[in-house]
Amino acid sequence: MNNGILTETEAAEILETFHNSIITQDFESWLELFSEDAIFEFPYAPEGYTKRLVGIQEIRNYIYELPKLMNVHAFSNAELTITNEKIVAEYTCDGVIIETQKPYQQTYISVIHTKGGKITRFKDYWNPVVVLNAVQN
């Protein structure tokens, strides 16, 4: 990072680690991407679903529950737009919901704020209908 300006390579590395760590369930490597006071938001989460996580401990508790809910198989290569310390990433995810064994195929737009190479805020935009269809029997 040069004077608070994130390079395309640095942004791609953040997303690659983010995605690969979820696929391999290497959550400690995933958590290392975040600052201690990071905020993770799900603006389109349906009623009854997590909408906001504040601080590394809430984020940690959330991510360690993921394998009980779904198995993520793959993410597409992200299309990135980078401005200073902000990344906008468009990508898809393929997985399976554990309880229903239904496929989970989601499209994401993530707005990621960074400072000093760490994620400080992650806003994850996804289609709630895809989630509801995948979790309902």
Number of domains in the chain: 1
Q: What is the pLDDT of residue 3?
A: 67
What does the block give as tokens for 31? 């958590």
Q: Give 18-36 pLDDT, tens digit per residue.
A: 999 999 999 999 999 999 9
Q: Is the pLDDT of residue 2 over 70?
A: no
Q: Which domain holds residue 27?
A: 8-135
Task: Kindly report the number of other CB atoms within 10 A of residue 132's CB atom.
Answer: 11
Domain CATH code at residue 51: 3.10.450.50
CA-CA-CA-CA torsion for 122, 71, 21, 94, nearest 10 degrees?
A: -70
Domain-located, residue 1? no
